[in-house]
Amino acid sequence: MNDLPQQLANGLLLGALYGLIAIGYTMVYGIVQLINFAHGEIFMIGGFGALTAFLWLPSGTSLLIALPLMILMAMACSVLVAVGAERFAYRPLRDAPRLAPLITAIGLSIALQQAIWAFYPDATKSRPFPEFEGGRLDFGAFAISRGDLFLLIAAPLCMITLGVFVSKTRTGRAMQATSQDPDTAKLMGINTDRIIVTAFAIGAAFAAIAAVAHGLKYGEVNFKMGFIAGLKAFTAAVLGGIGNIYGAMIGGLVLGLAEAMATAYIENIPGMSQLGGGAWKDVWAFVLLILVLLLRPQGLLGARVSDRA
């Protein structure tokens, strides 16, 4: 097990990525009780936004200089799609039975995937995403790729900013109030429509940052990347307790670690030698989801599901 530090690093980085995307699921669920299944595609569109920005710049532009523009463009694309989805797809269904917006979300997810496949140049196959040059950064016990450095800085920064925003600012408190009791929030003078849009926008912005991190980490973007990443992030959100932003962060990290550990070590368990390795990592992630749903359906930090129903 002398590669344990490396596996922990891999797991935490993966988990940070899941956590960033999971914020979007959990914030929207916390406020409108909708599982926004199109969130994975909002993440994917952020990746294509970033790529587009990079391609606009003259070739040879340093990635470090291009990065801020790529992030801004990713955020603009993701937020625009998320806010548009809220306004035109979900808001008209706000008082409809819960199944209606859920089906709409799944439909939207497929439509967005296919729109990129059909209209983005050469998106029928994976498009290469710019990567930092140079080898892995060696920290002795473990090494990370240069692209991961972005994730290492961005993820904690985003999470801390969000935590402060939600607990300390006026809009953040209005957001908590709306999530706890939307009608009464209106009686306080809170424009809950605007709060809902804000929740969608923040979730999308985080997904966009995750998409840039994902691109730098894996060196490509493709129209399908939102599906599995979205499913994993949804798992992370449920794992941590959906509706709880700290739960999304914790759930992401736990899921990332579990995947890394299972991938690396399960094959060492007698009788399970065929179940290790990368091919099985999604299986272990969803096994974990099933176990949590069976044993602790409110999630690791959540008490919300029960007091909402």
Q: Which residues bind other proteins (CB under 8 A)?
A: 170, 173-174, 176-177, 180-181, 183-192, 307
d(CA 233, CA 196): 20
Please report how close the Cβ of residue 34 comes to other proteins at its closest, in angstroms.
20
Please report how close the Cβ of residue 307 comes to other proteins at its closest, in angstroms.
8
Please report how close the Cβ of residue 178 comes to other proteins at its closest, in angstroms.
10
Q: Which is nearer to other proteins, 61 or 191 (CB)?
A: 191
d(CA 152, CA 295): 32
Could you give the C-alpha distances from 190 to 42, 183, 186, 196, in angstroms and in order? 27, 10, 5, 11
227 C-beta neighbours (distance < 10 Å), count: 17
Check: CB of residue 236 under 8 Å from CB of residue 255: yes
Please report how close the Cβ of residue 164 comes to other proteins at its closest, in angstroms.
15
Q: Which is nearer to other proteins, 187 or 295 (CB)?
A: 187
Q: Which is nearer to other proteins, 122 or 307 (CB)?
A: 307
Residue 134: what residue type?
A: G
Q: Which is nearer to other proteins, 138 or 307 (CB)?
A: 307
Please report how close the Cβ of residue 174 comes to other proteins at its closest, in angstroms.
7
Q: Which is nearer to other proteins, 20 or 174 (CB)?
A: 174
Please report how close the Cβ of residue 140 comes to other proteins at its closest, in angstroms.
43
28 membership: H or E segment, kind and range: helix 4-32
- Tell me the pairing of strands 127-128 and 137-138: unpaired
Q: Which is nearer to other proteins, 86 or 148 (CB)?
A: 86
Please report how close the Cβ of residue 305 comes to other proteins at its closest, in angstroms.
14
Q: Which is nearer to other proteins, 194 or 296 (CB)?
A: 194
Check: CB of residue 115 under 8 Å from CB of residue 42: no
Q: At what angle do helices 225-240 and 245-265 cross, to 10 degrees?
A: 110
What single string gives the DSSP state of each residue in 182-241? Answer: HHHHHHTT--HHHHHHHHHHHHHHHHHHHHHHHHHHHSEE-TTHHHHHHHHHHHHHHHH-
| Distant-in-sequence, close-in-space partners of 157: CB < 8 Å, separation ≥ 6 | none
